[in-house]
Every structure is written in structure tokens, then in C-alpha cells.
Structure 1
Amino acid sequence: MESTSLPFHTRAQGLAALESRLAQDLSYLGWPAKRWMPALTHEGEPVLDVAIIGGGQAGLAAWVGLAQQGIRAVVLDRAPAGFEGPWATTARMETLRSPKELTGPAMGLPALTFRAWFEAQFGEQAWAALDKIPRLQWMDYLRWYRQAMGVDVRNDVEVTAILPRADGLVRLELRTPEEHSSLLARRVVLATGRDGLGGAAIPGFVHRLPRERWAHSSDAMDYAALAGKRVVVVGAGSSSMDSAATAMEMGAASVDLLIRRDDLPRVNKGKGAGSPGLVHGHYDLPDEHKWRIRHYINKLNVPPPRGSTQRVSSHANVRFNFGCAILDVAMRGDTLVIATPKGRFEADFLIVATGFRIDWFSRPEFAAIAPHVRSWSQRFRPAPGDEDQELNDSPDLGPAFELQEKTPGECPGLDRIHCFCYPAALSHGTVSGDIPAISEGARRLSQGIASLFYAQDFELHFANVLAYDEPELLGDEWVPAGTEHILQPDPTSLTTSSGTQP
């Protein structure tokens, strides 16, 4: 790639200049904002303003948004530093799906965009030649973003329990390689990604197979182990193409894509739905309109990117099998036998690229709140034929992405937990998981939290107003005038209000 041809010292100088420009921009904007939140302790234990679970792009943007509001937050991530999110771990696409021009988590700061970071190192000509952003380069950008903005991320920290309390605090139980501990926060943000409220959607048929003979497309696995093997991939979305191509590139003997539909979708309706009107107006839509647009996009499915699909079809031993819903899967000796309406397929390994599901009960850290989270199934009943399990299970969120109780009063403090990950899409639109509108979502989240904090601490803030005594004027800015220049009234000219002399 042309961009890598520049000497390292030249790239480093370019980044240094960009960071200087960013620092100046932040200074002009008064960033970070002045602290206005009270410092709290509980029985001698310090209390965080906000704890953010997840240090991927959503968690980083949320932290910056809160800092812009003068709110201190800490990001907790179980991954080692620099490996937050899927980009350098389980993602297998060569490039991002999104157009390179999207500003992502830059929060309105031109010097914080991927383009600024890229051009600072590789130049404008390299930017013009770039088609899509390479996946690993996006991870490099996010690492730089974290460093440049000074985001407070605590790595190798797993949250094992989230415990809202009636006193307005949330206790987080933590585990690190060295110890178990806990912390208190006034609010918690779940920036836990596409699978952040559940996990991989696993078809029931795979449970009849030995675990070493199948994987979900999101699993961390060594694709080199598929060398020489016959592989079947179930599905036809982006992750299906990525898994199929990676398997072939790692030496698989063949890959059969088993596709339930009779054709691949051709149009990305989600892309067609994007506009500032939808970004800012989705939350205020009537419930039936929210359901209508999200269900329509879900029903038609998002097509895999053209480049990803061509990456698969460039291999001779890949077959696209349409109309092949899975009827049965079984082991016959050492061979997987997969029955479909078109006939049987034999394989050595099965990859299911079947997406993700919302399932609070499958995540141990959610055990205390799982029975109490209100979902859209309690809020809205779609018309017959418009049922949608993903939407049904989506959390019913308030204006600041806060969770709401299924039964009021049964889980005090639940609304101190904010869902800033993909399952917020039905309530808020796609502003909390994907690149296009992540900054707008982070602003909505941080401004909403600032508003909630102010309302909760109103008496304290009002007391601060009452106690505020910094004078604007000291009394020495003027000299009071005497009376010698004031004309005294003429008694003969005075009249009463009735127009007669007294």
C-alpha cells in the first residue's frame, strides 16, 4: 500500500504536528470542561461519576463526550491494552464497510478524525487513493485516539456483577488477573458492542455436534487449523463472507456457503435510511414508526459488501448454495452430514455465521438486573406479520439511554445503567454501535447524563448559587455624583394630579 512507503520518522513528525493542532483546538474549546460535579464518597470509599464498561469505539466516544460535559469517567475493559473491541481479535474483514469519509467518534473535532490521522502520516495523495479503511488500521487509529485524548481506560478488568442500589449508587464487582475488587459509581454505561447484552445466536442443531467440530463466526479461533479441511459456512451476511474467505486463505480444501434465501440481498436499506433527520428524530417517533423502519431493514437483511463477496468468489473451491436451509446435522463416523432441501453436504468443520441475540440471562454479570429490565415486548405489540424477535427483546430505553424497570419499584437504581451499545437501536436509532453516528449518540448520552446529574443534585447546586459571592464589581469603578448640579424644583410650577395648584 502506498501509505506505508513513507519513512517512520516522517510519519512520526506528521502525527506530532497533528497532536499539536488537536491540543490547540481543545484549548480553544475549553476542553476538558470545568468540573462542576461534587466529589462523593460513601463510607470512606470514593464514588466515580460514571463507569463505562467497554473500551471500544463507543466507550471511547462516551468518555470524551462526558469529559466535554465536565464529568469524570473511567473505562473498564477486560481485553489487554490495544485489543479492545473486535478489530484486532475476532473481526476478519479486510476493510471496514463504512465509507472512509465518515467522521466516526471524532466528536466534531476535525483533528480527531481518521482522515486527519491518516493524512498526517501518509499524505493527501494516499488518502485520495484509499478505497476503504483497512480493519487493522482502524484499530491503530483507535489506539491513537485513546492516547491523544487521554482516555482513562483500565485494561484487564472484567466486570463480574452490576448491582444497582436504592441509594443512587451502582456497585461493580471486578476481577483482574491479580485480584477481585469492586467500585462504586453514580452511573454505569454499557458500551459493550454488538453482542453486549447477550452473545452469539447459536442454532439449536449445532448442539448435537462435538464442540471441536463447529464455531460461531465471532469466536476467537485459529483458522489455520482448517487447512486441508472441507468447511461449511451457514449464512450469507458479512461475517459469513469474512469467515469463508479467511478459511480459504488459510488453506481450506473447500468452502460451501449454505444460504437459506434464493438470492443475496442487493441493497443496503440501512444505508438508505441514514440522515440527520433520522439520527436526531428517531427517538421522538411514534412506536409504530420506530418498529416499522427497524423491522423493514431487519427483514430485508443487509447485503454483504461487494468487496467481501468478491474476496470469497475469487477462490475456485467455494460454492454459493442457495435455497439450502438446514434441515438436520449429524455425525456419520468422522464426517459432518448436513441435510438441506437441495440435498446433503459432507464436511469436516461447520461455521455458523448467525449473528447475535439479546439475552440478559446468559451473561452472569447481569444476573441481578436481568429479571427487571423492561423490553419492547412490554411496550409494543406489532401488527400480525411484523413480529421480530430482535426488536421484541430490545431494551426499552429512556432519553439518556437509561434502562427502565419492568415493574416499577422492584429494582431501584436500574435507571442508573445506560445502554450505549447496538441493542439501543430500536429506542434511539443506530447512534450507539456503528461508525456513522457514534459521535451524535455520545453527545446525546453525555448531555442526558449531565441533565440527570444536575436534577439529582439540584439542592446542592442551588446552595452553591446562594453561596457564590465572587463580585463582578468592587465599588471602586465609579464615583457617586453630588447634588449641586441637580436643579431644585420651582414651587410655583408644581401642580396636583388633578391639574390644580395645591
Structure 2
Amino acid sequence: MIRTRGYPGAYDNYGALPDAVRWHQAIRFRRAGSTPPPDAIARAVKFPNFHLHLAASWTSAKPFGRRLLATTPQGDIAFDFVIAGTGYQVDLAKRPELAAFSDEILLWRDRYSPAADEQDEALGAHPYLGAGHEFLEKEPGRAPYLRNIHVFNPAAFVSFGLPIGDVPSFKRDIPGVVARISRDLFLDDLPAHEARINGPIADDFEPALYASAVWRSPNIVAAE
């Protein structure tokens, strides 16, 4: 589904879209899900013992000897090995490095109230990020240090419309984050930079370099 907005206009300017548009795109992506690439499917179906169980969500699982027994709408299925693809959960309070000030971070649920048919608590827990992927304050002035924390992981999905940290985000979002950090560091040290750029201008070369080529009018002798 991301391919429909992968052209340069939408890709390059996604963060500037209105909140309602970005939220709707996040809802569409979440409800549609994502698929493996066709070549991965082609490789898997070549194996005669590969079976795909559609509409077989697990309702429970328990040990079954040395195997695992999963209960699904299609009946019980036993597995020798299980690889669980659980997806992502965004909960800033559960991150040890953020827990002490997580309540200061602006979230999407603080900024945008979707229509009844687009409510989603999981998406609402995503941080509402600035243009450089930086955290924003829930209450301006209370936690200005948040601007120095930049999010380059799936928590930036609602704000920037891609699985941030995956390959499609590199071209756009790495330069964006680097540019914002560079700008902030420069402005934080502005007095030093201002003194430097207003410093004395040293001569690039001595006048002797071009002295021999300076035009001099020839002496004109007046006629008697």
C-alpha cells in the first residue's frame, strides 16, 4: 500500500501533510497489513511440505510433547518450531531511557482526534514528531530538552508514513535527521559562530602578486 504514495511529491513532503491525511494513511496501512515480496513466496511454495493456512489466527497455544499445539478456527495444528512475528508496540513509558519523562512527550492522541471510524489506540500512542524526527513537548516550555532526542525507528511511522529504519526511509529521513541535528548544534553555539564569521578578513595574497600588471599611463610630452 505504501507504493501508492511512493512518488517523489508524497515521499519527499509526507511530513508536511495535514494531520488528518497522515492519520488516514496510517489507518489504511494498519488495516491492510503488509505482505512478503513475491520472490520469497515463490521460493517457499517450491517445497512440497510447505503449507499456508489462511484465516487461521491463533486463539491459544500449549505444549504438546516436544511440539506446540495451536488452536485456530480451522482446528488444532501442531508445530515443531514457531517463529512469532508479533509486530511493534509503541509505549514510551516502558522504555527505561524515556520512562522518567515520557509523560512530557507529545503523542498523536494529544494532537489529533480522529473520526469514530478511524479510532486506534495503538496509533494514538505513537509520538507526534517534529520535522527532524525530534520529540515535541506536550506542554511548551516544560521539557525543551526533548528536541534533542530524534526518533529513527518504527515509532515515527504515523508522523512520516513509512516503516522508519527500514530501507525505504533511508534516502529521505537520514538526511533530514542529520540536517536538524546540525542546525540545532550550530544555533546552540551561535555566539561563537557569529564571532567567527564576523572575524577579520585576512588577505588572500600580497599586492606584489599583481604589481607588475597594474596599468600605468605612459608619459605624454607636450609639443613645443
| Shorter-chain TM-score tier | 0.7 to 0.9
Correspondent of 2:117 among 363, 372, 385: 385
Q: Give the deviation of 1:474 after TM superposition.
A: 5.9
Equivalent in the alignment of 1:469: 201
Equivalent in the alignment of 1:405: 137
Distance 1:457 1:358, change over 3 A: same
Q: Whose helix fraction is larger, Structure 1's or Structure 2's? A: 2
Equivalent in the alignment of 1:326: 58
What percent identity do the matched residue pairs reach? 27
CA contact (8 A) 1:431 1:440 kept: no
Distance 1:325 1:430, change over 3 A: closer
For 1:261-276, list aligned pairs within 5 A. Answer: 269-276=1-8
The 2-side partners of 1:296 and 1:286 are apart by: 16
Higher relative contact order at CA 8 Å, sep ≥6: structure 1 or structure 2?
Answer: 1
Distance 1:462 1:335, change over 3 A: closer
Q: Give the deviation of 1:283 after TM superposition.
A: 1.1
CA contact (8 A) 1:374 1:396 kept: yes
> One-letter code of the match for 1:424?
A
Equivalent in the alignment of 1:415: 147
The 2-side partners of 1:427 and 1:341 are apart by: 36
Correspondent of 2:36 among 304, 307, 311: 304
Distance 1:468 1:393, change over 3 A: farther
The CA deviation string for residues 140-167 of structure 1, in whole angstroms up to 9 with x for no partner, is xxxxxxxxxxxxxxxxxxxxxxxxxxxx
Correspondent of 1:376 among 90, 108, 118: 108
Q: Give the deviation of 1:348 after TM superposition.
A: 4.3
CA contact (8 A) 1:325 1:340 kept: yes
Correspondent of 1:351 among 77, 83, 86: 83
For 1:166-185, list aligned pairs within 5 A. Answer: none
Greater mean alpha carbon deviation, residues 344-353 or residues 379-388: 344-353
Q: Give the deviation of 1:475 after TM superposition.
A: 6.6
> One-letter code of the match for 2:188?
Q
* Runs of 4 or more above 4 Å deviation: 332-335, 472-479
Q: Give the deviation of 1:399 after TM superposition.
A: 1.5
For structure 1, which runs of at least 5 residues remain unmatched after alignment?
Answer: 1-268, 483-502
Equivalent in the alignment of 1:443: 175
Q: Give the deviation of 1:431 after TM superposition.
A: 8.2
- Pairs aligned (count): 216
SS of the residue 2:198 aligns to: helix
SS of the residue 2:51 aligns to: strand
Equivalent in the alignment of 1:278: 10
For 1:13-162, list aligned pairs within 5 A. Answer: none
Q: Whose strand fraction is larger, Structure 1's or Structure 2's? A: 1
The 1-side partners of 2:184 and 2:200 are apart by: 23
The 1-side partners of 2:81 and 2:19 are apart by: 43
Equivalent in the alignment of 2:96: 364
Distance 1:435 1:330, change over 3 A: closer
The CA deviation string for residues 64-96 of structure 1, in whole angstroms up to 9 with x for no partner, is xxxxxxxxxxxxxxxxxxxxxxxxxxxxxxxxx
The 1-side partners of 2:66 and 2:173 are apart by: 50
The CA deviation string for residues 213-263 of structure 1, in whole angstroms up to 9 with x for no partner, is xxxxxxxxxxxxxxxxxxxxxxxxxxxxxxxxxxxxxxxxxxxxxxxxxxx
SS of the residue 2:136 aligns to: coil
Q: Give the deviation of 1:412 after TM superposition.
A: 4.0
For 1:248-267, list aligned pairs within 5 A. Answer: none
TM-score normalised per structure 2: 0.79
The 1-side partners of 2:191 and 2:117 are apart by: 51
> One-letter code of the match for 1:448?
R
